[in-house]
Structure 1
Amino acid sequence: MHGVIISNLKKYVIEKLGDPAWDSLCEKAGMPGKAFIPISMYPDSDLDDLVAAAVEVTGQDRDAILQDFGAWVIPPLMKMYRSFIPDDWDASTFLQNVDERIHERVVRMKDENARPPHINVTQLSAGVLSVEYQSHRDMGALALGCVYGVAEYYGEKATLMEQSNGPGTHRTYTVRLSAGSGVKGHQEAI
């Protein structure tokens, strides 16, 4: 797992629950005092264990936490990787190019042996996208949250129309993008 994700999870937890909450989650996850450096790579189990601890502490559903964090993390990631993103893109263009032109490039830049999730986004009709998530990780809800965050970043709104679960952790989401209304397209957790 890329350290930038876990280090942003720390910021998210502190913003939502306060400073002591992060130390508590690390303790519950069996990682007391562990530091996560944004430019480093960590075992996937570190993120899994921290999210499991957040579920235990908050009583929230795992997917709700991942989805909310996915939406929350987009602005800091967009700021960090702005040089990879053409100025004339909108949410649809960004999502249709994120896997090949951004995600793979950024992850492989840090670790050429990394196995990032494959996120295939295709336009089904005007404003309607199919978002396919395939990974050895079970983080489809994080990907869906990122879709909501990207839409909001571009002043749009994403609405989940349909979700289907394929074999293993394969997820497909059908999402409609529309002009922003000021209402987030995800339910806030934590």
Structure 2
Amino acid sequence: MHGSIFNLLKRFVQTQYDYSTWLKLVELSGLSSADFDMNEVYPDAQIYALVGQAASMTGIPAEQLQEKFGEFLVPDLMLVYKRYVQPGWGTLEMIENTEEAMHGAVRRDAPGTRPPVLHVTRLSDKELEVQYESERRMGALAVGIIRGLATYFDEVDEIEVEPLTREDEEKVIIRVRQR
């Protein structure tokens, strides 16, 4: 997992709780450092340890924490990838173009990273099916990002996000509808 994700997770924990909670989370996860280099790629086991420990500490299921973190990520992701976003796009268009534009840029610019593969099918003018594929099994993070996009594009009351399969599988199907 890319170091930027760890740094955003750190900020998420500090925003929701505080810095000492982050330090305790890192310690209980068995990690040697609470700091992550933005340009490094870290073993996936480290993110699993942090999320698992956070679930234990809070009593909130790991999938729910991943969704909340996904929502939190969106403003930063949009800032980083704004050059790929076309004027007039909304939530559905953003999702349709994520794989080619944003994930393509990540694969080109940060060797060693492995963003999930998204297969997006337009079912109608107002409905998409997203097939998330990743050995990380973090589909809940994708669900959270989609919900965060709806908030970002001020469409939260119009967008319905429904995982059709378990969010902890390698392949997760997510239905996104605009009301």
TM-score between both structures, scaled by the size of structure 1? 0.86
CA deviation after TM superposition for structure 1 residue 89, in Å: 1.8
1:81/1:168 CA distance change after superposition, 3 Å:
closer
Contact 2:2 2:113 in 1 (8 A): no
Contact 1:70 1:144 in 2 (8 A): yes
Letter in 1 for 2:175: T
Q: Which runs of 5 or more residues in structure 2 are unaligned?
A: none
Distance 1:138 1:168 in 2: 5
1:18/1:34 CA distance change after superposition, 3 Å:
closer
Distance 2:71 2:97 in 1: 18
1:106 equivalent to 2:106? Answer yes
1:171 equivalent to 2:167? Answer no
- Residue by residue, what CA displacement relative to the aligned partner does 1:88-140 show, whole Å, maximum 9, x if unpaired? 322111100101111121243111x4332101222211221111111111100
Q: Which runs of 5 or more residues in structure 1 are unaligned?
A: 179-190
CA deviation after TM superposition for structure 1 residue 30, in Å: 0.7
1:36/1:27 CA distance change after superposition, 3 Å:
same
| Residue equivalent to 2:141 | 142
| Residue equivalent to 1:122 | 121
The percent of aligned pairs where both chains have the same amino acid is 32
Q: Name the SS for the 1:156 alignment partner.
A: coil
1:130/1:3 CA distance change after superposition, 3 Å:
same
| Count of aligned residue pairs for this structure pair | 177
| Residue equivalent to 1:80 | 80
Contact 1:2 1:107 in 2 (8 A): no
TM-score between both structures, scaled by the size of structure 2? 0.91
- Residue by residue, what CA displacement relative to the aligned partner does 1:11-54 show, whole Å, maximum 9, x if unpaired? 00000011111101100111143311222211111111110110
Distance 1:28 1:128 in 2: 42
